[in-house]
Amino acid sequence: MEKKKFRTLIGVLALVLVVLLFKCIFQVGKKDISLQYKINLKSQYENFKKSNKPSMIVFSYNADCCPNTKKFFDEYNGKVEKLMMAYEDKINIWFINTGILEEKDEEALQNITEENEVSKIPSILLMDSSGKSIKVIQGIFDEGEVREIIDGMVK
């Protein structure tokens, strides 16, 4: 009977180690999209507009409040992260976490959103290489539609 308990214990420990190993492997390449550039919002936006490269600006939030809101933003930001990773070498990408902005950047955020008719969070702003707004996708989005637009911008 002791051999059976010992084998079960070894099996459980092995399973835990395998799960931890997979978790470490798949977290290595994952980017933290909540990091903000330490440059002010207005300057960063002007750089995007002048870059001569198509751009995607994501206005979102890393919710930590009620479970439903947290789940929504976790899923939304996960989909956005896939897009960001797929196009990181082809377009400028900027994730603005509206929940952690410094006070000095709040007016700049308001000006950027008004200029581009972004009226709700979350939203994705797609801009052509001249800095002109092509499309604003507000709320839940179809990943295929966004990919199609971006593919058209980078041709």
Convert 90-114 into a string of H (helix), E (strand) and C (coil): CCEEEEEECCCCCHHHHHHHHHHHH
Q: Residue 108 is encoded by which pair of tokens?
A: 């700049």
pLDDT for position 155 = 80
Of residues 1, 154, 7, 132, the one with CA closest to residue 83: 154
Same domain, 83 and 144: yes
pLDDT digits (tens, 9 = 90+) for 27-63: 444 444 444 444 588 888 888 888 889 999 999 988 7
Query: Does pLDDT of 87 surpass 90?
Result: yes
Count of residues making up the chain: 155
Residue 95 inside a domain? The answer is: yes
Task: Find the domain containing 145 and state its range.
Answer: 41-154
Token pair 């300057």 is at which residue? 43
Compare 62 and 134 and report the one with higher pLDDT: 134
With bands split at pLDDT 50, 70 and 90, how would you rate the model's confidence at 119?
A: very high
If you average pLDDT over every residue of the chain, what do you get? 81
> Is the domain of 80 the same as that of 143?
yes
Residue 36 within a domain: no
CA 19, CA 28: separation in Å to the nearest integer? 15
Lowest mean pLDDT among 3-12, 89-98, 118-127, 136-145: 3-12
pLDDT of residue 79: 93
Task: Assess whether 23 and 49 both reside in one domain.
Answer: no
pLDDT greater than 90 at residue 135:
yes
Which pTM was predicted? 0.72
76 and 122 share one domain: yes
Question: Is residue 23 over pLDDT 60?
Answer: no
User: Domain for residue 84, yes or no?
Assistant: yes
Q: What is the pLDDT of residue 55?
A: 92
Q: What CATH number is associated with residue 139?
A: 3.40.30.10
The whole-angstrom separation of Cα 126 and Cα 154 is: 12
Dihedral (C-alpha) 66, 69, 74, 79: value to the nearest 10 degrees?
A: 180
The C-alpha atoms of residue 4 and residue 12 are separated, in whole angstroms, by 12
Backbone angles phi, psi at 117, to 5 degrees: 55, 40
At 45, list the tokens. 């936006």
Is the same domain home to 72 and 140?
A: yes
Same domain, 148 and 98: yes
Query: Do 70 and 143 fall into the same domain?
Result: yes
| Residues 88, 58 share a domain | yes
Look at residue 62 in the predicted model and tell me its pLDDT.
81
Structural domains counted in the chain: 2
Q: How many CB atoms lie within 10 A of CB 113?
A: 20
Q: Same structural domain for residues 62 and 125?
A: yes
Domain identity same for 9 and 81 = no
Do residues 20 and 74 share a domain?
no
- The reply to whether 21 and 57 lie within a common domain is no
Could you give phi then psi for residue 40, rounded to 5 degrees? -70, 155
